[in-house]
Amino acid sequence: MRKRKSVKIMVIIPVILFLISCNPIVNDSKSDSRLIITSITGFDIEENEVNFIQSDVLYEDPDTGETSIISDQGIATFTAELLNPAPIFDPSHFNSIMVTKYTVSYFRSDGKNTEGVDVPYSFSGSLSALVEIGSTAEVTFVVVREVAKMEPPLLSLREGRGDGVIQATAKIEFYGHDMSNHNIKATCYLTVFFANYVNE
């Protein structure tokens, strides 16, 4: 039987691209705090935690032959820091960040990015994670929904049509606010390999 991934609340991308492209400061934010994604990981087909996702569009139990559709999850680790490296006052509760929402969208390097044709539809989800200055918080969240595997283009992979593997990048944007209600956002990316993998 396939092991289910555990969900932890509260708690591929190449490393160079990860460091360059993650964690931009929101231009219109008035917060004194910054949300930082220190790591973003997924799982391969053997349930190992890795820095990408192997998304099996149709899981077949090797013992019974029964099939099922399972979502794919990622794990994000956050920390928070003050924008001012030498603040006059020590950090307070008002500098803590509450992460409340995330969005996932997909794009391909070949430029074929029509949702529902070339890549799955984008979506948003809710979560609740408090990130205090200088501390860390970990959340597990859905990167690929079950419904995406019942729609094009992933449906074609299930039925043996189209490309054998679709490689896409998931753009993941986390939204929240500090305790003074100033909006905060952080962005990161995760490579996803969609295929109808052999389950052993």
Using CA atoms, how far apart are residues 142 and 74, in angstroms rounded to an integer? 6
CA end-to-end span of the chain: 10
- DSSP lists the bridge partners of residue 185 as 175
Please state the pTM of the whole predicted model. 0.83
Nearest to residue 170, comparing CAs of 113, 101, 106? 106
pLDDT exceeds 90 at position 15: no
The string of pLDDT tens digits covering residues 148-183 is 999 999 999 987 765 689 999 999 999 999 999 999
Domain annotation covers residue 130:
yes
Q: What is the CATH number of the domain that holds 38?
A: 2.60.40
Number of domains in the chain: 1
The mean pLDDT value of the chain amounts to 87
Q: Is 77 exposed, middle or buried (0-12, 13-18, 19+ CB in 10 A)?
A: middle
Model pLDDT for residues 66-119, shown as the tens digit of each residue: 999 999 999 999 999 998 877 777 788 999 999 999 999 999 999 999 999 999
Within a domain: 7: no
Q: What is the pLDDT of residue 88?
A: 74
